[in-house]
């Protein structure tokens, strides 16, 4: 089902899942059969965890260290004890590790065993990626996938050619293109459109939901993801945002990821999420939810000034809400949808006013 709405059972065959493991293995030829140790924080009931932490470990003959619950102190203990070489995860995991080793040389030293990490499930902020690579000396790159594709379809190269801010290139045997949102015809390089994927890892369809299947899966095997992206002239893809998460204000399309990248770059912010909330006179305004690093303080005016120096005026959040934590899926992915549902449940008069600030 994933984290993007009401559950739909994506039917993945044995061929789908074996193919995806082989694709990942081919993408990282430096992996050593029988010698790797994978720290498995991702749950196995999710396609990301079962493919990257269980099936890949089996294929490699690797050791896999299970972490049943994500508690950062426990994660740091397992890293120190088992010295993992692979750490698949989501951005909130790498951000939490960055915070846990701050001003702690012993913990930083224990991280040097980590060689390769593929981040998925949500956009990877540049600041998180750069700091994690500085700490570990390994490679942390952003990839992309969805449950309907077993799940991995794209990844950045792990040989130093990664392009920060992109999801990389299609895995071996995977075709990908950007298509018009309405006609589904391919668009020119550099133009925005919907990401479409075809390959051996793409599902058969949704279980007993033929209409839903037909809406996303073409007769010739193309899977339409619902994500808005761009492909550059070198074949690297960038996810702009999910189509349904786009905020429309004053006739302008605003992509939450761009604002979240700015918020994550603030030295006092550890987590952030951006959604659109209804405005009292129609349309939407941008609302940002912010979690401040432990021991730090931050005022609304500080956030607004920081954003206004880095974003166009119409993209600067009109509402800021400080929280102690943000809602997450079992994988650690921040759930914008849950925040939007909370906002929708509020009385109308409390939504959409300019310059609203609330505490955690």
pTM for the whole thing? 0.79
- Joined together, the tokens standing for residue 17 give 């899942």
219-252 pLDDT, tens digit per residue, is 999 999 999 999 999 999 999 877 778 888 877 7
Residue 2 confidence class, pLDDT cut points 50, 70, 90: very low
345 pLDDT higher than 80: yes
Q: Where are the alpha helices (DSSP H) in the chain?
A: 14-27, 47-49, 56-60, 72-82, 91-101, 105-110, 126-136, 210-216, 256-264, 300-308, 336-345
Structural class in CATH, domain 10-241: alpha beta
Q: At which residue do the structure tokens 């899977």 appear?
A: 223
> The tokens 């794209």 sit on which residue?
154
- Could you tell me the sign of the dihedral formed by the alpha carbons of 247, 250, 252, 258, in that order? negative
Q: What is the mean pLDDT of residues 156-177?
A: 95
- What confidence score (pLDDT) does residue 332 get? 86
Rounded distance, CA 337 to CA 355, Å?
A: 22
Per-residue confidence (pLDDT) for residue 121, from 0 to 100? 83
Residue 47 pLDDT > 80, yes or no? yes
The answer on pLDDT for 7 being more than 60 is yes
Q: Is the pLDDT of residue 5 over 80?
A: no
- Determine the average pLDDT of the residues in 267-287: 87
Instruction: State the Rg of the chain over Cα.
Output: 20
**Nearest Cα to 328, choosing from 46, 38, 99?**
46
- In the chain, CATH 3.40.50.12780 covers 10-241
* CB 290 within 8 Å of CB 263: yes
Point out the least confidently predicted range of 99-108, 173-182, 272-281: 272-281
Interior/surface letters 193-203, b for 16+ CB within 10 angstroms, e for the rest = bbbbbbbbbbb
Dump pLDDT digits (tens) for 110-164: 999 999 999 998 888 898 999 999 999 999 999 999 999 999 999 999 988 999 9
Phi-psi region of 250 (alpha: psi -120 to 50; beta: other; left: phi over 0): left
Alpha-carbon distance values, 195 to 77, 104, 253, 287, 288 (Å)? 39, 42, 18, 26, 26
How sure is the predictor about 103, in pLDDT bands with cuts at 50, 70 and 90?
confident
Neighbours of 343 (CB within 10 A): 19
**Which pLDDT does position 348 carry in this prediction?**
60
Of all residues in the chain, the percent with pLDDT exceeding 90 is 78
> Is the pLDDT score of 360 beyond 50?
no
pLDDT category, 351, cuts 50, 70, 90?
very low
Q: What are phi and psi of 148, to 5 degrees?
A: -70, -5
Q: Of 341 and 170, which is predicted with more confidence?
A: 170
Q: Which two tokens stand for residue 204?
A: 């058969």
Record the tokens describing residue 240, joined without a space. 């702009």
pLDDT digits (tens, 9 = 90+) for 302-336: 999 999 999 999 999 999 999 999 999 888 889 99
pLDDT the model gives residue 278: 85
Q: Distance (Å, rounded) from C-alpha 333 to C-alpha 290?
A: 15
- Residue 353: pLDDT band by 50, 70, 90 thresholds? very low
343 pLDDT higher than 60: yes
Average pLDDT over all residues of the chain? 91
C-alpha distance from residue 84 to each of 30, 97, 140, 345, 348 (Å): 15, 14, 14, 43, 50
Q: Show the 3-state SS of 152-201.
A: EEEECCCCCCCCCCCCEEECCCCEEEEECCCCCCECCCCCCEEEEEECCC
CATH architecture for residues 246-358: 2-Layer Sandwich (3.30)
Report residue 275 as tokens. Answer: 């959604």
Query: What number is the average pLDDT over the span 203-207?
Result: 97
Residue 282's pLDDT band, with cuts at 50, 70 and 90, is: low
From-to residues of CATH 3.30.300.30 in the chain: 246-358
Segment 85-105 mean pLDDT? 93
Q: What span, in angstroms and rounded, lies between the C-alpha atoms of 197 and 264?
A: 29
Please report where in the chains the tokens 């990664």 appear, as a residue.
Answer: 162
Tens digit of each residue's pLDDT (9 = 90 or more) over 24-39: 999 999 999 999 999 9
Residue found under tokens 């809406």 = 215
Q: 56, 21 in Cβ contact below 8 A?
A: yes
Specify the pLDDT at position 249: 81
């Amino acid at each position: 089902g994933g984290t993007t709405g009401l559950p739909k059972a994506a039917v993945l065959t044995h061929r789908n899942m074996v193919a995806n493991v082989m694709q990942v293995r081919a993408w990282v030829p430096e992996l050593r059969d029988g010698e790797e140790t994978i720290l498995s924080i991702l749950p196995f009931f999710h396609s990301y965890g079962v493919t990257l932490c269980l099936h890949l470990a089996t294929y490699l003959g690797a050791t896999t260290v299970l972490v049943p619950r994500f508690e950062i102190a426990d994660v740091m203990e397992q890293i120190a004890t088992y010295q993992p070489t692979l750490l698949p995860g989501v951005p909130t995991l790498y951000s939490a590790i960055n915070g846990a080793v701050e001003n702690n040389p012993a913990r930083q030293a224990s991280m040097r065993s980590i060689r390769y990490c593929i981040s998925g499930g949500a956009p990877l902020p540049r600041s998180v990626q750069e700091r994690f690579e500085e700490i570990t000396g390994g490679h942390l790159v952003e990839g992309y996938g969805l449950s309907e594709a077993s799940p991995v379809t794209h990844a950045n190269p792990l040989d130093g050619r990664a392009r920060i801010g992109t999801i990389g290139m299609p895995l071996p045997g995977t075709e990908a293109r950007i298509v018009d949102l309405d006609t589904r015809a391919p668009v020119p390089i550099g133009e925005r459109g919907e990401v479409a994927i075809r390959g051996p890892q793409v599902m058969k369809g949704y279980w007993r939901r033929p209409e839903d299947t037909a809406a996303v899966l073409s007769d010739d095997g193309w899977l339409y993801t619902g994500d808005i992206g761009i492909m550059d002239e070198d074949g690297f893809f960038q996810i702009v945002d999910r189509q349904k998460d786009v905020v429309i204000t004053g006739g302008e399309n605003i992509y939450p990821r761009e604002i979240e990248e700015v918020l994550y770059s603030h030295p006092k912010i550890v987590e952030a999420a951006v959604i659109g909330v209804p405005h009292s006179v129609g349309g939407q305004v941008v609302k940002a939810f912010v979690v401040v690093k432990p021991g730090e303080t931050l005022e609304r005016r500080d956030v607004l000034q920081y954003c206004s120096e880095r974003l166009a005026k119409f993209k600067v959040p009109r509402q800021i809400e400080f929280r102690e934590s943000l809602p997450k899926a079992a994988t650690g992915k921040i759930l914008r949808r849950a925040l939007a549902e909370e906002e929708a449940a509020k009385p109308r008069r409390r939504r959409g006013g300019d310059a609203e600030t609330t505490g955690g």
